[in-house]
Amino acid sequence: MSDKPKGIDPLQDPLRPGYFMNYAEHETEAEMVLRKLACWLGVGGYSAPKVDAKTFHSKIVDGVNMAIESEAKRRCADLERQLAEAREKALEDAAVCCIELFEAHQIADVIRQLKGQSA
């Protein structure tokens, strides 16, 4: 099993935005990181002529919130599906118990009738 992380690390991607548009030579490392994170999160920033800290902070926070919300919705849907399956199984089990109890009462009635006939 490999210890390599899955997916592409946007901070290590050598083909990051900026290299194509000649921004890299004018950006600080922090600006490069902000642009890369925004692009990696899919919230824009690829063609922004400059990296404005407030704008990119907002874009990155929005992107992280969207990713968290998406994952939360996926997990909720999974839990709702599991709950529905558990309820269905519980109802099936309860139905089987009711049938078995009903059959046991019928057998007990038959036994009582047979005992009554032999007395």
Is residue 1 domain-resident? no
Picking from 40, 41, 70, 38, the residue whose alpha carbon sits closest to that of residue 54 is 38
pLDDT in tens, 44-64: 877 777 888 898 899 999 999
User: Does residue 63 fall inside a structural domain?
Assistant: yes
In the predicted model, what is the mean pLDDT of the chain? Answer: 81
Residue 113 falls within a domain, yes or no? no
Inform me whether the pLDDT recorded for 72 exceeds 60.
yes
108 assigned to some structural domain: no
**37: in domain:** yes
The answer to whether 56 and 28 have CB atoms below 8 angstroms apart is no
Number of structural domains in the chain? 1
What range defines the domain where residue 60 resides? 24-89
Confidence of residue 14 (pLDDT cuts 50, 70, 90): very low
What's the pLDDT at 39?
84
pLDDT at 83: 94
